[in-house]
Amino acid sequence: MYDADIFAVITAHDTLNLADSALRLEHNSRWFSKAAGGVALEPTLNSRETTPADDTPSGDVEKKEVLGDRLVVTFSKLFASDTFENGLQLGTNPISSHVLLGHRGTKSISGRQCNITVDNAHSIWLHDYSSTYGTAVGHNGQNGAEVRRKETWLLCFPFGTKDMFSGTTIRCGRFAIRIDFPNHGRKSSRYVENLQAFVDKLKAAAGRSMVVPPGVEVLGLDTTPSTQAPSEAATPRERLIYYEVAVIGAGVYGKVLKTIKARDGKAFASKIFRPPPNGNKRRRDDPDPNWLMSIRREFAIMRDNPHPNVIQVLELRETPKPAMIMRYYPLGNIVSASTHQDEHVTAWGQILDGLSHLLHRYQVGNHDTGV
């Protein structure tokens, strides 16, 4: 079990020795924790002594014994820092960064690359306010290469939320680290107090910055100013980022997932369409154009005909897999709901009302509705 003073644990995640070498920088020595275990680095026996057997039962190996080199960021050391305007700062500027990701000149990493904060609900967030080349945040093996600039990502949900992220990674170019918040799921009273102290210190720092003009480093003038994006249709790299966290429904033509929007942590439903059999010998990644057209038509009908009993659709995505982003209803679907008979009748009335709205709108008479 981790001490409640621990805020985050950072480990290397790329295979190019980039993050691993950054962990060992002198600037990060206050956080550095060397890997436990390993082989003998120098002789412990003379040449006449017998090599000892490994008498440790395989099931008794503690988790901490298999951890590699890591940075263990503690509240006490973080709060003692002179720079706390933006929470836990990561970058290549040793003056403003609590965790140094390399020295100036490290490819794809800015002086003030990103920072981690805590809000009033004790959710944990990562912000990329001023990097030159952007940051990518991966959860549950998703979106780990989706680079964004001037973006915000939810890292940890507030206490009491059933949804959880795992395998959280932060990537800057080819540099990648994994970050864990080992105490967030346990919610010990001391850890909660430390999180609240984090929030209070952020508020105090914000209040001081309104009175005392910030210095050059605080203003972030050590990085190249970003250029405003042109006002045109969003490209895939500009789309909102969603993370799938649970399956909430499935059918013949696809499944519906609960998804979380990275920017604000709000829940949505995502309908993922199952592609039809590839009978025309198309390339495996080449979707059926007629199938895509039917999905676009379904989305357009629901979008253009709002009704209280027709689910609201918000966005259609065609890559990397066709998906329809919709409103999320936390009470679940009718099939799994434990409702009384009279409530079932009311629900079916609402379904038929919505269906009637859509069919009459397009002057369609449907006598084959399955019940």
Question: Exposed, middle or buried by CB within 10 Å (0-12, 13-18, 19+), for 66?
Answer: exposed
- Look at the block and give the residue holding tokens 């005392």: 212
Rg of the chain, C-alpha, whole Å: 26
Among 189-198, 337-346, 360-369, whose mean pLDDT is lowest? 360-369
Q: Are residues 114 and 245 in the same domain?
A: no
- Does the residue 200 lie in any domain? yes
- 3-state SS, residue 305: coil
pLDDT tens digit sequence for 148-173: 999 999 999 998 787 789 999 999 99
Confidence tier at 350 by pLDDT (50, 70, 90): confident
The C-alpha atoms of residue 272 and residue 1 are separated, in whole angstroms, by 39
The C-alpha atoms of residue 317 and residue 267 are separated, in whole angstroms, by 17
Confidence tier at 216 by pLDDT (50, 70, 90): very low
Q: Are residues 179 and 322 in the same domain?
A: no
Prior bond of 236 cis (ω within 30°): no
CA angle 111/112/114 to nearest 5° reads: 140
Confidence tier at 253 by pLDDT (50, 70, 90): confident
Confidence tier at 208 by pLDDT (50, 70, 90): confident
Q: Are residues 21 and 129 in the same domain?
A: yes
pLDDT at 226: 36
- 3-state SS, residue 216: helix
- Percent of the chain at pLDDT > 70 equals 76
- Does the residue 52 lie in any domain? no
Q: Are residues 114 and 257 in the same domain?
A: no
Say yes or no to pLDDT of 369 above 50. Answer: no
DSSP string covering 65-92 = GG--SEEEEEHHHHHT-S--TTSEEEES
Does 340 or 243 have the greater pLDDT score?
A: 243
Q: What is the DSSP letter of 310?
A: B
pLDDT tens digit sequence for 94-106: 999 999 999 999 9
Q: Are residues 244 and 314 in the same domain?
A: yes
pLDDT at 63: 47
pLDDT at 203: 92
pLDDT at 310: 80
* CA 118 and chain centroid, separation: 15
- Does the residue 232 lie in any domain? no
Q: Are residues 212 and 252 in the same domain?
A: no
pLDDT at 319: 83
- Does the residue 51 lie in any domain? no
Which of 294, 300, 315 has the alpha carbon at shortest distance from 361? 300
Question: Exposed, middle or buried by CB within 10 Å (0-12, 13-18, 19+), for 85?
Answer: middle
Residues, the chain: 371
- Provide the residue type at 280 as one letter: N
- Does the residue 208 lie in any domain? yes
Question: Which residues have CB under 8 Å from 74's CB, separation 6+?
Answer: 3, 5, 6, 7, 31
pLDDT at 320: 83
Q: Are residues 189 and 263 in the same domain?
A: no
- Does the residue 42 lie in any domain? no
Q: How far is CA 92 from CA 36, 96, 225, 252, in A?
A: 28, 9, 16, 51
Say yes or no to pLDDT of 306 above 60. Answer: yes
Do residues 170 and 179 make contact, with C-beta atoms less than 8 angstroms apart? Answer: yes
* Domain harbouring 84, CATH code: 2.60.200.20
Say yes or no to pLDDT of 194 above 90. Answer: yes
* Domain harbouring 243, CATH code: 3.30.200.20
User: Which of 86-90, 227-231, 297-301, 350-354 is predicted most confidently?
Assistant: 86-90
pLDDT at 112: 96
Which of 208, 186, 199 has the alpha carbon at shortest distance from 79? 199
Q: Are residues 312 and 186 in the same domain?
A: no
Q: Are residues 175 and 262 in the same domain?
A: no
Q: Are residues 67 and 211 in the same domain?
A: yes
Number of domains in the chain: 2
Range of the domain at 252: 238-275+286-339
- Provide the residue type at 105 as one letter: G
Mean pLDDT of the chain: 82
Say yes or no to pLDDT of 224 above 50. Answer: no
Whole-prediction pTM value? 0.79
Query: 28-60 burial string, b = 16+ CB within 10 Å, else e?
Result: bebbbeeeeeeeeeeeeeeeeeeeeeeeeeeee
Say yes or no to pLDDT of 219 above 50. Answer: no
Half-sphere exposure of 274 (CA within 13 A, CB side): 9
Confidence tier at 322 by pLDDT (50, 70, 90): very high
pLDDT tens digit sequence for 48-84: 677 777 765 555 544 444 568 999 999 999 999 988 8
Does 208 or 220 have the greater pLDDT score?
A: 208
Q: Are residues 26 and 67 in the same domain?
A: yes
The C-alpha atoms of residue 99 and residue 91 are separated, in whole angstroms, by 7
Say yes or no to pLDDT of 222 above 70. Answer: no
Q: Are residues 74 and 187 in the same domain?
A: yes
- Does the residue 26 lie in any domain? yes
Does 353 or 139 have the greater pLDDT score?
A: 139
pLDDT at 57: 59
- Does the residue 351 lie in any domain? no
CB 139: neighbour CB atoms within 10 A?
22
pLDDT tens digit sequence for 309-319: 788 899 999 88
Which stretch of DSSP H or E encloses residue 292?
helix 289-304
